[in-house]
Amino acid sequence: MAKLSIRDIEIKGKTLLMRADFNVPQDKELNITDDTRIRATLTTVRYILDNSVGKLILISHLGRPDGKVVDKYSLKPVAKRLQELLNEPVKFLADCVGEKIKDDVRAAKERIILLENLRFYAEEENNDPEFSKKLASLADFFINDAFGTAHRAHASTEGVAHYIKSAAGLLLEKEIRYLGEAVQNPVRPFMLILGGAKVSDKIGIIENLLPKCDCILVGGGMAYTFLKAQGLAIGNSRLEKDKIGLAKNILDKAKNLNKEIVLPIDHVIVGNIDNDADIKICDREIPDGKMAVDIGPKTVGLFEGKLKGAKTIVWNGPLGIFETDSFSKGTKEIAEFIGNLNCTSIIGGGDTAAAIAKFKLEDKMTHISTGGGASLEFLEGRTLPGIAALTDKK
């Protein structure tokens, strides 16, 4: 990696400012309902503690308070959960910048300090230089371990790195390694699986990775715009009418590059999207009044046949409406199949990661990205501001 890693700096006795992603879901009583993002930071936090850091100041956002103090978006519950997970005291401070915070950080006897929600200040999302300087003044080094926000040029992700020596945390380093190798130098055969609702969401990935991959398997709602572009009947299935021409162009480009784009050859169809909907399987063409909600068994077999020799698989987007159990079989069976392959399997965050978690297959995948939008932009070949701003290795 061309950027400094936390492994490259001497942190003993130093004060570190670390950007984490603690944007976790909560219920109405403000109990954290999913602590995955908190757990994802623990490897870096424990590395820091094990290497005799002086103090670790953690910063994050939570929700969209729009530059105002909103009690329900306080990070106080995160401090409590973090303390439970680490079995180490965590000091919570009810602000994130200012002279009082500096004094409170110096006075704190705890090694771990969590500051209040950065987005209580509008200056955070505006990437205000003065706000960035105030954050930087709290510590000796800045560590970014929040890949999920690395595609945003905010004060705590990009701005602060201009005023203090900055490095990637272990989680961010892992994201860059796996996604970067997949984009730049994948071990072949390299297969790309794309799903989700819209072709328009995946244009950037297709344009960037089509010349580099060996085959693209397409499922989910986006598949039906491609099938429509081939002149096939898709019933009431998801369609982006204004992207039919784009889908044709992509198919033509793949043909010219001698790359294979594999589309569903059968479908799970319903008349309406309900748990108790009358489910049927149909072949390539979908009858009027019916909509596809999942790939069919023949398509599962076709996809597995293409994937069986793969050495690198990148998957972004579920292959059906996996949130509904009746429509999740295709996504689940492909996930289970990949989990048993001898290959590098990279799950591109967001809904795909949620599907893998639902099926309890996390430990079967090589890497599950912690960033939905960030992983999407990384796979599109875009420069992520939160990574670009880190200090370069000499």
Secondary structure (3-state) at 3:
strand
The values of phi and psi at residue 359, to 5°, are: -85, 0
Question: What is the pLDDT at residue 184?
Answer: 86
6-171 domain in CATH 3.40.50.1260?
yes
Question: What is the pLDDT at residue 372?
Answer: 81
Strands 291-295 and 312-316: unpaired
CB 269 within 8 A of CB 279: yes
Question: What is the pLDDT at residue 274?
Answer: 78
Alpha carbon distances (Å) from 63 to 70, 119, 183, 258, 341: 10, 8, 31, 45, 38
Give the pair of three-digit tokens for residue 131: 């706000």
**How confident is the prediction along the chain (394 residues), in pLDDT tens digits per residue?**
589 999 999 999 999 999 999 999 999 999 999 898 999 999 999 999 999 999 999 999 999 999 999 999 999 999 999 999 999 999 999 999 999 999 999 999 999 999 999 999 999 999 999 999 999 999 999 999 999 999 999 999 999 999 999 999 999 999 999 998 888 889 999 999 999 988 998 999 999 999 999 999 999 999 999 999 999 999 999 999 999 999 999 999 999 999 999 999 999 999 988 777 889 999 999 999 999 999 999 999 999 999 999 999 999 999 999 999 999 999 999 999 999 999 999 998 789 999 999 999 999 999 999 888 898 899 999 999 999 999 999 8
Q: Which burial class, exposed, middle or buried, applies to 93 when counting CB atoms under 10 A from its CB (0-12, 13-18, 19+)?
A: middle
Q: Give the distance, in angstroms, between the CA of residue 38 and the centroid of all CA atoms in the same chain.
A: 14
Q: Which burial class, exposed, middle or buried, applies to 179 when counting CB atoms under 10 A from its CB (0-12, 13-18, 19+)?
A: buried
Active-site residues, by number, are 37, 198, 350, 373
What lies within 8 Å, CB to CB, of 103 at 6+ separation is none
Amino acid identity of 226? F
Question: What is the pLDDT at residue 1?
Answer: 57
Query: What pTM was estimated for this model as a whole?
Result: 0.90
Question: What is the pLDDT at residue 36?
Answer: 87
CB 151 within 8 A of CB 384: yes
Same fold, 6-171 and 186-379: yes
CB 327 within 8 A of CB 320: yes
Class of domain 186-379: alpha beta
Q: In sequence order, what are the beta bridge partners of 346? A: 314, 367
CB 20 within 8 A of CB 58: yes
Question: How many residues are given for the chain?
Answer: 394
Question: Which residue's entry shows tokens 């199949």?
Answer: 337
- Identify the CA nearest to 364 among candidates 376, 355, 374, 351: 355
**What are the extents of the domains in the chain?**
6-171, 186-379
